[in-house]
Amino acid sequence: MALRGHAGAVRRVVISPDGRDVLTASDDGGVQIWDMDIGDCVMQLRRPPPPGAPPVPLTALAVSPDGGAAITGDEAGTICWWELQGGTLMRSFPAHAGRINALAVDPLGGRCVSASSDGTAKAWAVLDGRLQWTMAGHGRTGATGAVRRHTRAHTARPSPTAAPAPRPCGPALLARSCGVCLCACVRVILPAGEAAGL
């Protein structure tokens, strides 16, 4: 089954927690929600660009554990919260000074973590969009994952378990695992061979 409908490259794909829908985010600035059984687009989410401006490409996508909300991140560093029952944009705000590369929602659905090309990872309260903490321990570019010795933010994945005691992070290390509750670097992952990452 091929899902066709975006006017730009599809950058992210997420399957809903119940397995019934596929969500796709695209360079055309929109999210399309597809019924897995019939392959049809059943909903579109799109934040209109300013008059005369092109759409801002979407670069990150996540779905809440209950399947009731989608979170998008874009090339300009903006996060949008969408209510999926009716496709309503609940809130939109500038979150980062660079492209958002990844989004993840914690297993309880109360917190969303974003990772950006601006070198930071940030945790946001899902209820009101309030910034809870910022991690900026990755130097100029920043990473929560590293591939082929590059340090760019690729993956944000909150740990479902309690974190161990914080340890210092050395400047030459590429990937870090950060405790969401402690807001401290709790594990450093060294590169092994040509590729290393989370």
26-43 pLDDT tens trace: 999 999 999 989 888 899
The partner residues of 156 in beta bridges, in order of sequence, read none
- The model's pLDDT over 81-119, given as tens digits with 9 standing for 90+, comes to 999 999 999 999 999 999 999 999 999 888 999 999 999
Sign of CA dihedral 150, 153, 155, 160: positive
pTM recorded for the entire structure:
0.71
Query: Taking residues 4-19, what's their average pLDDT?
Result: 85
Instruction: Reduce the DSSP state of residue 113 to 3 states and report it.
Output: strand
Query: Taking residues 172-184, what's their average pLDDT?
Result: 43
Chain mean pLDDT for the chain: 76
User: Does residue 180 carry a pLDDT above 50?
Assistant: no
The whole-number pLDDT of residue 38 equals 86
User: Does residue 153 carry a pLDDT above 90?
Assistant: no
Q: Percentage of residues in the chain with pLDDT exceeding 90?
A: 47
Residues with Cβ within 8 Å of 108's Cβ and at least 6 positions away in sequence, in order, are: 65
User: How would residue 7 be classed by pLDDT, with cut points 50, 70 and 90?
Assistant: confident
Specify burial of residue 165 (Cβ count, 10 A radius: 0-12, 13-18, 19+): exposed
User: How many degrees, rounded to 5, is the angle at CA 87 between CA 85 and CA 88?
Assistant: 105
Contact (Cβ atoms closer than 8 angstroms) between residue 94 and residue 110: no
Domain ranges of the chain: 10-149
Contact (Cβ atoms closer than 8 angstroms) between residue 57 and residue 47: no
Gyration radius from the chain CA atoms: 17
CATH number listed for the domain at residues 10-149: 2.130.10.10
The partner residues of 115 in beta bridges, in order of sequence, read 102, 121
